[in-house]
Amino acid sequence: MSTLSIKDLHVSVDTDQGAKEILRGVDLVIKEGEIHAIMGPNGSGKSTLAYSIAGHPKYHVTQGSVTLDGAEVLDMTVDERARAGLFLAMQYPVEIPGVTVTNFLRTAKTAIDGEAPAIRGWITSIRESMTNLRMEPSFAERNVNEGFSGGEKKRNEILQLELLQPRFAILDETDSGLDVDALKIVAEGVNRAKDKTALGIMLITHYTRILRYIKPDFVHVFVAGRIAEQGGPELADRLENEGYDRFLPVGASESTD
Ligand SMILES: Nc1ncnc2c1ncn2[C@@H]1O[C@H](COP(=O)(O)OP(=O)(O)OP(=O)(O)O)[C@@H](O)[C@H]1O
Ligand SMILES: [Mg+2]
């Protein structure tokens, strides 16, 4: 059974005032087929956690480990992490001028599998996934995310998830900015990916509405750079009703320094 294990992870970023610690000892274990929802106030470090696992150079790991089936992810390059089966759907997907959706997917798939996908089956898979995600066929020939609306960018992330078939996916606010129908379509895409490949999922979100469609096994409350509490799906409802006040120091509204 595949396991993604985060232990005592500390991460800093460089600022004009020197290094600033954002993650302060994150512990989290995700097994294949499990869905873990991460909820927490703005600025608590959720995206930092996502980027750190994916290997973004801005984030410096100062302590701790991230292992995938025992192999140290932090020692891997960004593409080794992707080949090992890690996938990140970004909160703010980036535009890639000059690279079409089709070319991007084919290049990524080839890099991850070590060989180009057989052309006919591949084109069918792209068409099927795009139909499932209600993406117009014309998107295949557009440059990645260039001029895409917020919701279209999120669907494109899920298109990548479906086609690249990672073992673990980190979905950073994939639900934000989606209309009601798109939310369902995106959630169905995530559930399809999970059913097909026993995907393990870290689902970062502010809203319980996506958790009606993507049922979490565990909910974690992320506050000031670490997990402050964990529970089952009922914890998400409690957070929606009560907010994060009880986790924050008196007088603080966001992360503490
Ligand atoms: N270069 C930087 N300089 C100073 N602070 C930074 C820098 N990069 C990140 N931070 C801070 O790190 C903290 C964590 O940011 P992060 O994006 O991880 O939060 P988040 O939990 O994803 O928030 P949101 O819910 O708004 O997406 C924020 O307070 C942010 O301002
Ligand atoms: Mg974020």
Residue 7 tokens read as 């232990």
The CATH code belonging to domain 3-247 is 3.40.50.300
Confidence of residue 249 (pLDDT cuts 50, 70, 90): confident
CB of 22 shorter than 6 A to ligand 1: yes
Pocket test residue of 48, 53, 205 for ligand 1, highest count of atoms within 8 A of CB:
48
d(Cα 227, Cα 220) in Å, to the nearest integer?
A: 6
CB-based neighbours (< 5 A) of ligand 2, an ion: 46-47, 91
Confidence of residue 251 (pLDDT cuts 50, 70, 90): low
Q: Encode pLDDT of 53-99 as tens digits.
A: 999 999 999 999 999 999 999 999 999 999 999 999 999 999 999 99
d(Cα 100, Cα 7) in Å, to the nearest integer?
A: 38
d(Cα 75, Cα 72) in Å, to the nearest integer?
A: 6
d(Cα 20, Cα 59) in Å, to the nearest integer?
A: 10
Task: Please name the residue whose Cα sits nearest to atom 4 of ligand 1.
Answer: 15
Q: Encode pLDDT of 189-242 as tens digits.
A: 999 999 999 999 999 999 999 999 999 999 999 999 999 999 999 999 999 899
Pocket test residue of 46, 173, 203, 205 for ligand 1, highest count of atoms within 8 A of CB:
46
Q: Give which of 119, 55, 102, 45 is closest to 83, Cα–Cα.
A: 55
DSSP conformation class of 110: H
Confidence of residue 256 (pLDDT cuts 50, 70, 90): very low
d(Cα 130, Cα 156) in Å, to the nearest integer?
A: 9
pTM reported for the whole predicted model: 0.94
Q: Give which of 204, 190, 256 is closest to 50, Cα–Cα.
A: 204
Angle at 219 between CA 214 and CA 223, to 5 degrees: 130
The answer to whether 231 and 242 have CB atoms below 8 angstroms apart is no
Contacting residues for 208 by C-beta, under 8 A, at least 6 apart? 236, 237, 239, 240
Confidence of residue 4 (pLDDT cuts 50, 70, 90): very high
**Ligand 2 centroid distance, CA of 114 (Å):** 32
